[in-house]
Amino acid sequence: MLQENPYKMRAGLLTCKYKGVLEKFATYRDDRAIVVNLFGMLIDACKEMEGVKNNSICVAFNNYFNDQEAEMDRITTRFTGEVYADYSWTPFDRPVYRVYRLDTMGNFKQEGCTMNEGKAVRQAQTNQEIGLTTSVIEERPDGSRWSLEVKDGAVIGKEAAS
């Protein structure tokens, strides 16, 4: 079986995710230009990473990539009113969920894309089962954020998140 380089796949997924967004944002000179520029930088960086075998460099790059993609998502949501949930850009007219896990440096990092509640709870449960400190945040269209307490695959509590 042929195994495609993970950075080629990552670049391809990013291209699919942002193709329509880039077409809309290409002519602007405000924060939307940041999305266009970050996209180009990440695609170029993925090409450079194709031959890298050092695990430390790969982990550092993956963290950087995730942070930049999250920033692109935030800017896109601010200008379009849409969130990338369940593998497509959809109107932000219902709550969305983000799963965060504690990294080795003691910082919470977003894990994967924005998702529906069921997927977020399942991901949090999986993380808990393997011993990762995890947080699930519900973001509502009115701008409020709620921290969900997940135990045994179910939401057992909510409190306002800062």
In tens, the pLDDT along 3-14 reads 678 999 999 999
The pair of structure tokens assigned to 95 is 């709550």
pTM comes to 0.71
pLDDT at position 1 is 42
The one-digit pLDDT tens for each residue of the chain (162 residues) are 446 789 999 999 999 999 999 999 999 999 999 999 999 999 999 999 999 999 999 999 998 998 899 899 989 988 998 888 767 888 888 787 878 777 777 777 776 666 677 777 777 878 778 777 778 888 887 778 888 888 777 777 788 876
**DSSP secondary structure of the chain:** -----HHHHHHHHHHHHHHHHHHHHTT--STHHHHHHHHHHHHHHHHHHTT---HHHHHHHHHHHHHHHHHHHHHHHHHHSEEEETTEEEES-S-EEEEEEE-TTS-EEEEEEEE-HHHHHHHHHHHHHTT--EEEEEE-TTS-EEEEEEETTEEEEEEE--
Per-residue pLDDT, 87: 78
Q: What contacts 119, CB < 8 A, 6 or more positions away?
A: 86, 97
Where in the chain are the domains? 1-80, 82-162
